[in-house]
Structure 1
């Protein structure tokens, strides 16, 4: 190749480059603008997919995050080029500013195709790793629980304790206490790799506990696996992981080894992976059968704390109407015998009472309540009296029948409001309506009435929730009432 040929090629490249950089950038700026519009539309689709994935418990992939940042930077830079080009004053359509614009366009041209093809809307998310713990929704009321709460958190902190049992009668506040322990800030400081909450309830089988535990730690079981297969999977998955397991409302003892909660000796030079189980039950015998290192009985509240809880639910403005009502209120709170659920239930009933005669009658009813034994409770159990008071206080027999109807669902079952209302309509407990919408409106009104009387619970405590449940003690008493 001769020198003149080489020089010709060099000059040709210079001329091509010069023709590009010295040309009017209008067409290339317009091209970039259209590309930026396509990317913007793709980014909107990606953001929608990311939002949907997060609602389904997934997270954005690292590749998507990187491409998203690049695409956003590209769109931003194109917008800056368009602004600069629009503000540029070209003499006869051209100026030296065109060189700068063309140079910036050239740089963006090289990445536009890669970005448009790289942003894949169908591959934006991956499953999240299971969180160590998810905070449980619960009220901030810890009346009478603070001492037990601090004590049990310290017992969890003690590495000599692996199994902690909490027992007491229904309605005494065991579940509420357990939730406050679960949410306590010191629990997160213990750095358990898995903190799992499972509701057992009466009749719960080991298989259900295994399935629930596996689901919480994101371990997959096959439908046809035997109990031994499940035990093996749980054991091998959890043996080198620290785990804090909360079991609420167990009615029988379970072999914790079959839940993968056996303490495994630490490997040489490695930290011990603790397994701690804390559970609630109504039976002290279950605590002993579970070989609990710590057994804690939840007692009724002392009177001063019981009065504080009753006052909070009945309302100071009601109780302080006059001294005689205050005196009657203190006697009624005493009749509730320190049972939190009774104090709350009766307190809510009394919040609507204004006359001395009404308070006298309520006190008389509580003192005369004599009901047969049910679910292991004593005949004069205050919770039974509290339930009867709330039950009798409902506006009519139809409302009482609506409440009893809720006991048809299993214990701890989350009942869909729509299904409950359909059941009420079918049983004729909602009638004389002009349209189905009116019937459903009336049904929702009745649900809120029962919830405000603390006879039904709104899931998560939210009025707009789609589900409700019946406290297990309330359900026991509702079944007893229905059987008579």
Structure 2
């Protein structure tokens, strides 16, 4: 017996393990299914949490571990198998169908192991939450067909668009491409269309954009480039900041594997590429191309753009202008023929400039024939060089309510191409008492939103890519600054680097608003006597800059002040 017992223990019992396991598939089949359902519900709760975290990171441009999407794919496959079993569980048959119960129990047992493994992997997910550089092109972007956007489908511009896109390709020798044309012709609009196209075609790994403008300093351009690269510039001097950018470009370039598109918009003066960390010509370390827009062809040449890579963005043809106008104003064929004729004449006076046409349409939409006739007469003696300011003037004059006009002028106190926070406008509006019968911040926000809506409908403000911000076209901004020279809106506005308080023809007594960028200023004057000043806005001053003790003493009517 001892020999038999030893034999059973050594040889028979190990053989019974798989037998018991397979018997368990049949006997505990129902329990396995119940356990699977419970565990799958728990796993789906975890999956929902991961998906929510992933969406949040995507919205806020935070990096996600590669394992996150792989884990979601695995869980999705497990879920499909579970649902398939749940949907077909009634086909298993009676409790005496041992073969079907065995197969079901075996499948469910295997799925339970997969679910437990997925739950373990979930606990190992590493959410680094590092910010993605603003300029990094989304590798998950789904390509779409490339076409000119709605309301800008101008046939005469398609060749320029295609030529620019080809010049940015890897097989084209051009290193720099320029879109050249007069103000208001649509250079920035075409540049944004090209930017969208190269993103969709994944032609570059990083797209870095900086708006240069008429008075933008190299320091500001460096800051814009740094933001797109996802780095912080703590260096004080221009050469040191350029060196930090150069090192960052080389590091991110990964030996030339990553390609960069540098976009310089609205270039008035030649930009030294070395100031932003790049050599005038591509080198083996950094693979990049430059797309720039400018009103001045000579500037493009000075920047090193070859003649055949300077692409002229021309005014619209008469046919395109009239079609553009009709798309926005939506005049039907049965409308008064005379009104149609007036509209055609107005469009002709806009000289093929899209910004003038669109602003004119927004101003005249739903207005009477007399209003259209008046607009035509006011444009009568203006040509392509001065028609745009006149169009803005008419749009401003037609604004409903003094509040809307005041908010529009307030936006002009911010720098060119600035993302204007609507919350700042709320604070200034309350401080300056621009809103009638408004007593709370909530009421002020509501009133401001109504004003902004009117300004956008008249094309005097445009949408910003930043949440809760608005923007001004650079030509509209220039128009507002010209308006500030009028006595009723006497203001001192300076948005360039300066060593001291700016000189101005505006008298201390008449000045009502001051908006200054204080970069480079070492100290404030001590004898300012702006008795009628209502708003003082000081921006980007050095941390060492201090206000004199009696700085505000003579500003008796100051209602709003801001220093950043």
Q: What TM bracket, shorter-length normalisation?
A: 0.7 to 0.9
Residues 218-229 of structure 1: matches in 2 within 5 Å? 220-221=231-232, 223-224=234-235, 226-229=240-243
Q: In structure 2, what is the equivalent of residue 254 of structure 1?
A: 271
CA deviation after TM superposition for structure 1 residue 274, in Å: 5.6
CA–CA distance in structure 1, aligned partners of residues 15 and 429 of structure 2: 86
CA separation of 1:261 and 1:181: change in aligned 2, threshold 3 A = farther
Is the CA contact (8 Å cut-off) linking 1:262 and 1:275 kept in structure 2?
A: no
Check if 1:420 corresponds to 2:425.
yes
Change (3 A) 1:121 1:422: farther
CA distance in 2, matches of 1:389, 1:74: 64
Moved more, 412-421 or 238-247: 238-247
SS of 2:289's partner is: strand
Give CA-to-partner distance per residue, 1:422-451, whole Å, 9 cap, x none.
Answer: 422332222124765444333222211111
Alignment check: 8 A CA contact 2:404 2:454 kept: no
Q: What is the TM-score when the length of structure 1 is the normalising length?
A: 0.79
Aligned match for 1:243, one of 242, 260, 268: 260
1:52-79 deviations in Å (ceiling 9; x for gaps): 2332335654434444454455556566
Matches within 5 A, 1:201-240: 201-217=213-229, 220-221=231-232, 223-224=234-235, 226-234=240-248, 236-237=250-251, 238=253, 240=256
Q: 1:148 aligns with which of 157, 160, 169?
A: 160
Looking at both structures, which has the greater relative contact order when contacts are Cα pairs under 8 Å and sequence separation is at least 6? 1
Deviations 1:245-284 (A, max 9, x none): 22111232212234325434669xxxxx863212112334
Distance 1:190 1:353 in 2: 45
Residue from 108, 116, 121 that aligns with 2:119 = 116
For 1:70 and 1:151, the matched residues in 2 are separated by: 44
CA distance in 2, matches of 1:110, 1:348: 64
C-alpha distance in structure 1 between counterparts of 2:118 and 2:126, whole Å: 15
Deviations 1:450-477 (A, max 9, x none): 11111111236x9xx6322111111111
Q: Secondary structure at the match of 1:243?
A: strand
Residue 347 of structure 2 corresponds to which residue in structure 1? 333
Distance 2:288 2:72 in 1: 41
Name the residue aligned to 2:336.
322
How many residues align? The count is 462
Q: Can you list the C-alpha shifts for 1:172-206, whole angstroms capped at 9, x where unaligned?
A: 22211222333347x86694444443323343333
Comparing 52-61 with 465-474, greater Cα deviation is found at 52-61
The corresponding residue for 1:399 is 404
2:374 aligned to which of 339, 361, 371: 361
Give the Cα separation in 2 of the matches to 1:328 and 1:32.
74
Give the RMSD, CA atoms, in angstroms: 4.0
Partner residue in 2 for 1:351: 365
- 8 A Cα contact 1:42 1:121, kept in partner: no
Bigger helix fraction: 1
Which structure 2 segments of 5+ residues have no match? 487-564
- Separation in structure 2 between the aligned mates of residue 386 and residue 332 of structure 1, nearest angstrom: 11
- Maintained 8 Å contact 1:81/1:101: no
TM-score by length of 2: 0.69
Structure 1 residue runs of 5 or longer lacking an equivalent are 268-272, 371-376
The residue aligned with 2:545 is none
- How much does 1:124 deviate? 5.5
Out of 32, 54, 57, the position equivalent to 1:53 is: 57
